[in-house]
Structure 1
Amino acid sequence: KPFKEFTDWEWDWFYLFDMEEISYKRVDELVGKEVSPLRAFGGLFVYYKGDEVVHVELLDRGGGYCEGIYTTTAYVRKEYACWLADDNFKHLPPP
């Protein structure tokens, strides 16, 4: 199922961060503004419309999120460790 169907706001792309694997400072550095809670666990989704952050959401259910940059072509798949797939996926830039 297309991931975009699980949201009710307009967006073009999003960062997905595994807060057990990345520091809040690195998240804020990549996003370009303070969006990350100081102490968080789970997956932090930062949605963009163009170059503007339009929504930030924390799913506080464990770790194991596949960090990266996803687009509107992302879709949900239940049968794999990474439950999101996207042919346009990009890895996070190195520190």
Structure 2
Amino acid sequence: ADYLLRAEDVERLYIDGHTDDTHTSAYNVELSRKRAEAVADYLAGKGVSRNLVTIRFHGERYPVKPNTSVAGKSYNRRVTLRVERVPARPERIATR
């Protein structure tokens, strides 16, 4: 949260919720939404503007590990954050 409050070039923050494949697809989509919203609520409580945040929820789609083991499932129960920055302006080159 501190980084997001200090950075002047942050244009958007994507918060993506994910689950393993333990439950139904509908349940997992709702659970992934709740996970992402919990992170957004936490950041808002720390002063991060909700206007900066885009919440996305994917359920069991996009696993990072196979859902064939306890360890794999635990990796897939996650929330990821991606910061999108304002494109840098080209530096002006002084000519003589």
Question: Could you tell me the TM-score, scaled by structure 1's length?
Answer: 0.30
Looking at secondary structure, tell me which structure has more helix per residue. Answer: 2
- Greater gyration radius: 2
Q: Which structure is higher in RCO with an 8 Å CA cutoff and minimum separation 6? A: 2
